[in-house]
Chain A
Amino acid sequence: GAGVSQSPSNKVTEKGKDVELRCDPISGHTALYWYRQSLGQGLEFLIYFQGNSAPDKSGLPSDRFSAERTGGSVSTLTIQRTQQEDSAVYLCASSPWPQETQYFGPGTRLLVL
């Protein structure tokens, strides 16, 4: 079946602009994760959604970052007033239930000029 998809695959924006990144998880997966990967670094946890529960936003680096998940499926990560240090690959993953294997999308490469 279809895997996790993310769009856009690449995004170039100017400093100060807002961006929206989209994630379509695997159908039926209740858990959804957003991560950030900077060049040569491991994965930095951003936010976690599980079903209809309140999301775990503990990894969001600043109040410029927000995310929502509509209808328990598609998720959007929004970065307001982008800064150059926001440049990274943003990865989305989903799993059938918490603590089960996470399946990753191809990521969105964000470059802030």
Chain B
Amino acid sequence: SQELEQSPQSLIVQEGKNLTINCTSSKTLYGLYWYKQKYGEGLIFLMMLQKGGEEKSHEKITAKLDEKKQQSSLHITASQPSHAGIYLCGADMDSNYQLIWGAGTKLIIKP
């Protein structure tokens, strides 16, 4: 089984609606990174979480890391077309430089 699972694989949301993407690990996380990727572009760093229970927000995007540090959620409030893209989580599981990556969640915003 995958060490880092993202769900859902894809999501179609009406503009203005809220949505949540999850990233679940089989191991305790030393750090969890969220990135966004648009077609033809590289990954854009969104947020990084390290402490159990930590929550960070940027504009309409909020990311949380649970107390056990094995699951993170990314929540988008009042979605907009600019939120469309692929969201990837990357996890530091061994306190070293290599991140384990989720397979990504493709988000489509319907006007």
Contacts and interface: CB of A to CB of B under 8 A. Distances in A.
Contact of B98 (A48, A91, A101): A48
B42 A4 contact: yes
Contacts of A4: 42
Interface stretch (A37-45, A61-69, A70-78, A79-87): A37-45
B97 to A, nearest CB: 4
Contacts of A43: 88, 90, 101
A33 to B, nearest CB: 8
B77 to A, nearest CB: 24
B97 A31 contact: yes
Nearest to B106: A40
Interface string B4-33: 000000000000000000000000000101
A33 B33 CA distance: 16
Interface string A77-113: 0000000000000010101001101111111000000
Given A41-B103, A42-B102, A43-B88, A99 B42 contact: no
Interface string B25-67: 0000001010100001111110010000000000000000000
A101 B35 CA distance: 11
Contact of B101 (A40, A42, A95): A42
A59 to B, nearest CB: 8
B107 to A, nearest CB: 14
B103 to A, nearest CB: 4
Contact of A45 (B40, B88, B92, B98): B98
Interface in A1-26: 4, 6
A105 B97 CA distance: 18
Contacts of B104: 40-42
14 contacts: A4-B42, A40-B103, A91-B43, A93-B43, A101-B45, A101-B48, A102-B90, A102-B99, A103-B45, A104-B43, A105-B42, A106-B40, A106-B42, A107-B42
Interface of A: 4, 6, 31, 33, 40-43, 45, 48, 50, 56, 91, 93, 95, 98-99, 101-107
